[in-house]
């Protein structure tokens, strides 16, 4: 079992690029980035709210945000 030939490497690369160019993969990447950004923003809002609000107000904020 030797190393793959240049044409086999090119065929494999072509298949990978075809999959990466597909609409489903592109949309999945957009969703993954959007969900990651939403998580970061959610964390940031909770940190800021935790610093600005007194404990009772923060508890109300969390209860309302959880709904």
Q: What is the DSSP letter of 3?
A: P
6 pLDDT exceeds 90?
A: no
Residue 43 domain-assigned?
yes
41 occurs within a structural domain: yes
- Residues whose CB is less than 8 angstroms from the CB of residue 26 and which lie 6 or more positions away in sequence, other chains included: 20
Number of independent structural domains in the chain: 1
Q: What is the pLDDT of residues 29-61, one digit of tens each?
A: 899 999 999 999 999 999 999 999 999 999 999
Residue 26 included in any domain? yes
Dihedrals phi, psi of 53, to nearest 5 degrees: -100, 150
Host domain of residue 41: 6-66
pLDDT at 47: 96
Q: Is residue 52 part of a domain?
A: yes
If one compares 54 and 6, the residue with the highest pLDDT of the two is 54
Instruction: List, in order, residues 6 or more apart from 53 with CB less than 8 Å away.
Output: 61
Residue 1 lies in a domain: no
pLDDT of residue 11: 84
* 29 in any annotated domain: yes
Q: Give the residue, 55 or 23, on which the prediction is more confident.
A: 55
Does 53 reside within a domain?
Answer: yes
């Amino acid at each position: 079992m030797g190393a793959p030939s240049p044409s086999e490497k090119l065929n494999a690369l072509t298949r990978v690029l075809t999959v990466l160019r597909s609409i489903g993969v592109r949309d999945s990447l957009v969703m993954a980035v959007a969900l990651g950004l939403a998580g970061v923003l959610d964390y940031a809002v909770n940190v800021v709210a935790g610093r600005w609000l007194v404990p009772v107000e923060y508890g109300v904020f969390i209860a309302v945000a959880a709904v």
